Structure 1
Amino acid sequence: MGGLGKTSLAKKLYNHYKVQSHFYCCAWVSVSQEYKTEDLLRRIIKSVIKTPSEDDLKKMEMRLTMDDLEGWLYYLLGSRRYLVVIDDVWDLEAWRKPSRTKTMEVEYC
């Protein structure tokens, strides 16, 4: 269902100051039809870390396993309130896979 303005509407809401101030952190990540879950998690982590330290930058360059990436994301977000928008999803697996990240509660809309 392309061209209906879904992304434009979501972006407008995402960028609203009341939405941004409601969450500890916000991340906007677009996926393509062909994607790797590891890359998706890396991009979410990069979006969550506003000012990465040298250790964070080194960690991002390493070949981390899915468990490592999921653990890192869980560490970064923990029990905090956060908003992650995964845009341009062609396959529901793009939503389901990151939701398995440890015991984080994920709500879909």
Structure 2
Amino acid sequence: MASIAGLGFIVWGHHMFASGMNPALGMTFMVSTILIALPSAVKVFSNLFLGRRMSRNPWQGASLEWEAPSPPGHGNFDRPLTVRRGPYEYGVPQSEEDWMPQVGEVGAESSPTA
């Protein structure tokens, strides 16, 4: 990550090349851009194809949009929901968890994940 950031700082000056800097430096900027693009592409595609799958609610949000499957189907939700509390009631005194989704029951396991 640090090497990508360091090379990105070099490419940051690329706008000077377009505005009248020495044309011989064009090869330097091209090579540094390729050196950034290749590891970035490897990182993105490895995360897409080899990365772990996340649950429906990886950040433990309390609002209803975290209960929808991804991609959402017709009507957004794959099951009927019963709203039990407001979206900003993060702490429920009777719960062992420090957060509760809007559809979660106190004392029950947290919302189901896919």
Give yes or no for TM over 0.5: no
Task: Give the TM interval when normalised to the shorter protein.
Answer: under 0.3
TM-score by length of 2: 0.25
TM-score by length of 1: 0.26
Q: Which has the higher contact order (CA 8 A, sep 6+)?
A: 1
Flag the structure with larger Rg.
2
